[in-house]
Amino acid sequence: MECRVLSIQSHVVRGYVGNKSASFPLQVLGFEVDSINSVQFSNHTGYSHWKGQVLTADELHVLYEGIKLNNVNHYDYVLTGYTRDTSFLEMVVDIVQELKRANPNLVYVCDPVLGDHGSMYVPQNLHPVYKNKVVPVADIITPNQFEAELLTGKNISTEKDAVEVMDLLHKMGPDTVVITSSDLPPRLGDRFLVSFGSQRILMPDGTRTTQRIRIEVPKVDAVFVGTGDLFAAMLLAWTHHYPTDLKTACEKTFSVMHHVIQRTISYAHEMAGPGRRPSPAQLELRMVQSKADIEDPAIVMEATVL
């Protein structure tokens, strides 16, 4: 069966972020990807210069209307990431709700991009829209620790807190929650980051069970752009293949990330030369070169079931 994703994310001419980070890996894994570009920029905003256009909520609506008029608005997944505009985000929610009425099995994968390390990097007024409108219609969400805390109003300082926060997020709507990174102390030493996942599964007898996992991921000393977008796309793909096995889906997803990042960092250092910090251009994800790892990642980290 054909599996079709509507991905509403940013687009860059040069490099990998948003739809550029998500489309190729999903297509490699056999998904049809229909992209709506929320912005079209020359490159990501970590460069010294960037130019481009931003899609408005009305323009998003026009594009969706075109798809609808041709009766090709049947999707299995919707994928969204970084947005700076509340009316755009509210239009996304309207589209998701309409698509879910047409296909009640549609899965909405949302990276609720609000900020990191204690500070927001989107306007404050997006927070209530995510909390009250977006998360309730989402099925899979991928917040970092700061975003998970912001959405639930609860701090995470222990593993128990992380589990409670994921349970609160489940109550808000999504059946699958992955906290992509946290400040909790890793068991493998300070060169690792701790991530958590939780999945509510409906059993054949109608009861619900929850699988929770913890996974430790090697830290990398560099700033990458587009990794969150790749992560959400890979989680979409691997939860599709392992719908009731979050442990395997997360191991595959985090392993893909590891391979792409390692390939990128070694290329960047090679290009920059000894003792020099790589530039944003040199740190663009080595996506095409990682095709084999995306298709069949060697598992390099193991999740622990909590």
Q: Is 167 a catalytic residue?
A: no
Helix (H, G, I), strand (E, B) or coil at 143: coil
Look at residues 142, 151, 150 and name the one whose alpha carbon lies nearest to residue 82.
142
3-state class (DSSP) for residue 9: strand
Q: What does the pLDDT look like over 187-224, one tens digit per residue?
A: 999 999 999 999 999 888 888 899 999 999 999 888 89
The pLDDT tens digits of the residues spanning 39-80 come to: 999 999 999 999 999 999 999 999 999 999 999 999 999 999
**Residue 277 confidence class, pLDDT cut points 50, 70, 90:** very high
Domain ranges of the chain: 4-305
Contact of 290 with 260, CB cutoff 8 Å: yes
What gap in Å lies between CA 190 and CA 297, rounded to an integer?
25
**CA Rg value for the chain:** 19
Q: Domain 4-305, what fold? A: UDP-N-acetylmuramoyl-L-alanine:D-glutamate ligase (3.40.1190)
CB contact set of 173 (below 8 Å; sequence gap of 6+): 135, 136, 137, 138, 139
Q: What is the mean pLDDT of the chain?
A: 96
Distance (Å, rounded) from C-alpha 117 to C-alpha 41? 26
Cβ neighbors of 184 (< 8 A, separation 6 or more) are 156, 157, 158, 159, 162, 194
- pTM score: 0.97
Residue 203's pLDDT is 83
Q: Is pLDDT at 180 greater than 80 in this prediction?
A: yes
Contact yes or no for 17/224 (Cβ under 8 A): no
From 229, 245, 293, 296, the catalytic residue: 229
The pLDDT of residue 301 is above 90: yes
Mean pLDDT, to the nearest integer, of 230-248?
97
Residues 6 and 36: their CA atoms lie apart, in Å, by 8
* pLDDT at 153 exceeding the cut of 80: yes
